[in-house]
Structure 1
Amino acid sequence: MTLEATLVVPGRLDVEIAAQQGDVVALVGPNGAGKSTLVHALAGLQRAEGRVLLGGHDLLPLAPQDRAVGVVFQDQRLFPHLSALDNVAFGPRSRGDAKPAARAKAQVWLDRLGIADLAQRKPAKLSGGQAQRVAIARALATDPGLLLLDEPFTGLDVGVAATLRIELGRHLADFGGVTVLVTHDALDALTLATSVAVLDQGRVVQIGTPADVAARPRTEHVARLVGLNVIRDGDRLRAFSPAAVTVSLQAPTDSTRNRWQGVVRGAAPHGDAIRLQVSGERDLIADVTPAASRELALVPGQHVWLSVKETAVTTYDARPEAASD
C-alpha cells in the first residue's frame, strides 16, 4: 500500500506527500501551518483539489465513509451513547460487517490494546488514556490502508502518554498501511516516525528522516522542537546547541563574533541544567548550571549577553530544494 497525495486548499494548503507501505510520516510545524487541514483533506473532511492515490486508487472523489482511512483525533470523538466495544465495532459495521462479526473484530482490538475489560463501559466512564485506546482500536478495526493520527497524545498525563506511545509504536510496526501522524512533540517524531515532513504556511519546507531533520532543522519551530538554536544567514542556516551558549551580564571581552544582547523571558529545569528563554536581537535558548543561574540571578527580566564560539556552530543550506541533501 503506497500513498501519493497532491492537495491544494486555496489560501491554506499546497502540498505533496508520498509514502511507502509501513511508513509513518510525522507532520510538524507551528499552529496554522496546515497540519490538521492536510489530515482533514486526506480523510475527506475538508474539500480539496488534486488527488490522493492510496494503492493506486484516488480517494479524493470518495465520501469519507467510503475511503479506506482510519482517523484518531486528539479529543477521541467517541460516541457517548455506545460502549467501548460498540464504538470500536462501529467502523466494521459501517463497512458492511454483520453485528456479530463487527463485535468480534472490536473485541480483538480491545484485547490488543489492553482494555478488553472495559468493553462495556461508555466513554464517560473511561479515563483519557483509556478513551484514546478505544479511539485507536476503532480506527484500526476497519483494517485501513491509511491511518491518520491527529495529535493522539495531547491532553494525556505524561506517564500515560509515554505508555501509549510505546504501545502505538508496537502496533504501527505491524501495520500494513501508511500512517500520517500530526504532532507537536519531538519525541513522537523521533520514536514513531520513519520520515518527518515540516509544514510552514501550508507548504512542505523540509522532509527527511527524523535524524536528518533533527540535525539540520530548516525552520525555527523545528529547531526549538528538537532543542536547537537556528539563525538564518541569507541562503545558509547556522545551528548550535543551547549547551554551547555562554551567558554573561557584561559584553564578552574576547573576539567572539557570535554575540547577542537579550532579556531572560523564562527559566525552567531541563535535565541537569536550567534552560533560559532569551528574547532580544535573536530569540534564543541557553542551558546553564543551577549554580550559574543563582550566581547571575538569571530570572525573567534580567538583561544578559549570549555568545557562542564559531567551532560550536554548524552551517548548512537553507534552500528548500536542498532539504533532502
Structure 2
Amino acid sequence: MAGGAVSLDLDLHVPGRVRVALRAEPGEVIAVIGPNGAGKSTLVHALAGLVPATGSAVLDGTDLLALPTRERSVGLVFQRQLLFPHLSALDNVAFGPRARGGSRREAEQRAHDWLDRLGVGELSGRRPRELSGGQAQRVAIARALATDPRLLLLDEPLTGLDVKVAMALRIELGRHLATYDGITLLVTHHALDALTIADRVLVLDEGRVAQLGTPAEVAQRPRTEHVARLVGLNVVPSEGRLTAFTPDAVTVSLEPPVGSARLRWHGPVVDVSPHGDAVRLLVRAEPDLIADVTPAAATELGLAPGREVWLSVKETAVRRYDLAPEQTGTVAP
C-alpha cells in the first residue's frame, strides 16, 4: 500500500441517528457492531459522503466532511457488491485507478494484481452475472483496495455468503488487512469477524458508543445485551453493575428452583435451536436469557416455544463488573 502511516480523529454526528467520537491509529482495524438500527451503516456512509453529517473526521490532517464525496480517499464495500454489470471483473477493479488519472495500462496492471491477491485473477474477463456471490465480493473488495484508500469502509461484506465461502473470504480479508497501513472500519454482525480480524471493537447502541475496547475486553465484559448474545453470554443489569454468565451455567426447570444461593427468572421459551451438541433456548424473561440443555433434557421437559420455564444460576457461576461510563450517553437531537 502506498501512502504511509495515517490516523483518524473522529467526532461525527448525524442528528438523531448516530454520534461517534474516537481516534483510530495507523493500520488499525475497528469492527463496528450493534443491533439493527444502532447507526452502524449510517456511520460508514457518512464517512463516505453518502449521508450528510456534522462535526469532523480528520484523516491524515484533512477533514473528510469538508470534501466532496469523490475527493475523499475512501474505499467502500457494501453487503451487495454493486459492481458495474456491463464491465468485466478487470474493468470493474481498474475503474477507480482510471478515474483518478492513471493510464489504462497502469490501471489494468493494478487490477490484475489485486484480483490475483484475492484469488480471482483467472476470472478477470467475467462480468458480474457470471460470478458467484463469493467471487463477486472478492472483486468488490479488490475494487475498493485498488485506489490505495487511506480509509477502508466495509459494510457487512460477508453477509449473505455461504458459510464456507464467508470463512474463506474472512481468512483472506484478515490476511490483507494485517498488512494494510490505512484504517479500516468493518461493520459486522458476526462475532467471529470482530474477534479474529479487528484490533478494537466499537459497540453502537441506539446511535451512541456503548463500548470501545479490544476484542478480548469486549468479549469478556460485554456492556450490552446484543454483544452478550454475539459472544454467547447472558448479561443482566443489577444495582448499577452487570452480571454475566454462560448459557451452560443455566439450570432449566418446570418448577421454581430451590436453594438460596441462586439467581432465578421465569418466562416462556420463545426459540429452540440446535447449538453444537446442545439445544439452545431463548427465554423471554427480564431480560431475555439463553440457556443450553442436553437434547435428552429438552425432550424430557417438553421444551418448545410457549413452554413456561424457570431459569436459575448458582452465584459461583456469575461474574460481576461495573457499567462503562459510555453507557450513560445519549444521542444529541
Out of 141, 165, 174, the residue aligned to residue 169 of structure 1 is: 174
Deviation at 1:281, TM superposition (A): 3.7
* Equivalenced residues, count: 323
Corresponding position: 1:84 with 2:89: yes
The aligned residue for residue 282 of structure 2 is: 277
Deviation at 1:280, TM superposition (A): 2.9
Secondary structure of residue in 2 paired with 1:60: helix
The aligned residue for residue 160 of structure 1 is: 165
The aligned residue for residue 206 of structure 2 is: 201
Secondary structure of residue in 2 paired with 1:231: strand
Out of 48, 52, 67, the residue aligned to residue 47 of structure 1 is: 52
Deviation at 1:321, TM superposition (A): 4.7
CA shift digits 1:92-125 (9 cap, x unpaired): 1111111111111000000101111110111011
CA distance in 1, matches of 2:286, 2:66: 50
Identity of aligned residues (%): 66
The aligned residue for residue 15 of structure 1 is: 20
Deviation at 1:67, TM superposition (A): 1.1
The aligned residue for residue 100 of structure 2 is: 95
CA distance in 1, matches of 2:27, 2:76: 17
Contact in 2 for aligned 1:261/1:306 (Cα 8 Å): yes
Secondary structure of residue in 2 paired with 1:262: strand
Out of 65, 74, 83, the residue aligned to residue 60 of structure 1 is: 65
The aligned residue for residue 217 of structure 2 is: 212
Q: Which amino acid is 1:27 matched to?
A: V
Secondary structure of residue in 2 paired with 1:46: coil
Mapping for residues 297-316 of structure 1, pairs under 5 Å? 297-316=302-321
CA distance in 2, matches of 1:296, 1:268: 15
Q: Which amino acid is 2:82 matched to?
A: R
Deviation at 1:299, TM superposition (A): 1.5
The aligned residue for residue 318 of structure 1 is: 323
Corresponding position: 1:129 with 2:134: yes
Contact in 1 for aligned 2:35/2:205 (Cα 8 Å): yes
Out of 119, 123, 143, the residue aligned to residue 138 of structure 1 is: 143
Structure 1 runs (4+) greater than 4 angstroms displaced: none
Contact in 1 for aligned 2:266/2:311 (Cα 8 Å): yes
Contact in 1 for aligned 2:252/2:311 (Cα 8 Å): yes
The aligned residue for residue 151 of structure 1 is: 156
CA distance in 1, matches of 2:152, 2:199: 14
Contact in 1 for aligned 2:209/2:327 (Cα 8 Å): no
Q: Which amino acid is 1:195 matched to?
A: R
Secondary structure of residue in 2 paired with 1:280: coil
Deviation at 1:322, TM superposition (A): 8.6
CA shift digits 1:143-181 (9 cap, x unpaired): 111100000001100000000000000000111100000
Deviation at 1:319, TM superposition (A): 3.3
The aligned residue for residue 263 of structure 1 is: 268
TM-score normalized by structure 1?
Answer: 0.97
Corresponding position: 1:185 with 2:207: no
Q: Which amino acid is 2:193 matched to?
A: D
The aligned residue for residue 237 of structure 2 is: 232
Corresponding position: 1:251 with 2:256: yes
The aligned residue for residue 294 of structure 1 is: 299
Deviation at 1:69, TM superposition (A): 0.7
CA distance in 2, matches of 1:49, 1:303: 49
Contact in 1 for aligned 2:256/2:310 (Cα 8 Å): yes
- In structure 2, the CA distance between the partners of 1:274 and 1:13, relative to structure 1 (3 Å rule), is same
CA shift digits 1:55-75 (9 cap, x unpaired): 122111111221111010000
Contact in 2 for aligned 1:71/1:148 (Cα 8 Å): yes
- In structure 2, the CA distance between the partners of 1:322 and 1:33, relative to structure 1 (3 Å rule), is closer
CA distance in 1, matches of 2:255, 2:227: 30
CA shift digits 1:1-52 (9 cap, x unpaired): 1111111111112111211111100000111111101001111111111111
CA distance in 1, matches of 2:239, 2:201: 24
